[in-house]
Amino acid sequence: MADDPIVLFDAWFAEARESEPGLAESMALATADAAGRPSVRMVLLKGHGPEGFTFYTNLDSRKGEDLAVNPHAALLFHWKSLRRQVRIEGPVAPVSDKDADVYFASRSRESQLSAWASDQSRPLPDRAIFETRFDDMRLSFEGRDVARPPRWSGYLVAPQLIEFWTEREHRLHERRLFTWQGAWSESLLYP
């Protein structure tokens, strides 16, 4: 058994990138608001390491609002072709402005413009409004770099719990649970 769940995640993630027909980076992100009402959506993993798992979003989105009042999240990777899942839970903190700027600069120009044009998670009376705003942003930034909007950044989920689930015949699934208590400890769970 691996002593370090990050090393195990790296190995599983590398396999998923080779075999998963969809995006191996796709993960479900679960948050909860101040009243404890949960919400889940798919986002993309944009970095990971011993310090945690990073994703980016509009800070005024539903997930951004949830994390502002309840800075804890759960992530779930499901790699169907490998018959595996990885579940992660932990506190969430904003990434640095520098890290957000570097990642934002790596995005396609259209994605950068979309970040400016979108009031993510807010009601949109007509799709044409969003498309017009996108075109306005294209004109506004014509001939120059697109700066990161102040309401757009990233979050780092610092894992306190990582569970590796492997499908087995007859529902005899394998569940390995790693918990952080100053160091990683491992246990098994019944399926």
Alpha-carbon distance of 157 to 113, in angstroms, equals 26
Is residue 148 within 8 A of residue 100, CB to CB? The reply is yes
Tally of domains in the chain:
1
CA atoms within 13 A on the CB side of 23: 9
Is 126 inside a domain boundary?
A: no
pLDDT digits (tens, 9 = 90+) for 137-178: 999 999 999 999 999 999 999 999 999 999 999 988 999 999
For residue 51, CA distances in Å to 12, 104, 180 come to: 18, 20, 12
pLDDT band at 20; cut points 50, 70, 90: confident
Instruction: Tell whether 145 is covered by a domain.
Output: no
Structure confidence at residue 22 (pLDDT): 76
Does any domain span residue 120? no
- Evaluate whether residue 20 is within a structural domain: yes
Q: What is the pLDDT of residue 3?
A: 83
Catalytic positions are: 171
Domain of residue 164: give its range.
Answer: 5-109+151-189
pLDDT per position as a tens digit, 175-185: 999 999 999 99
Total residues belonging to the chain: 191
- Tell me: pLDDT of 68 over 90: yes
Asked whether residue 55 is domain-assigned, the answer is yes
pLDDT above 60 (res 1): no
On the question of pLDDT at 2 being above 70, the answer is no
CATH code of the domain covering residue 79: 2.30.110.10
Which structure tokens are listed for 4? 């370090």
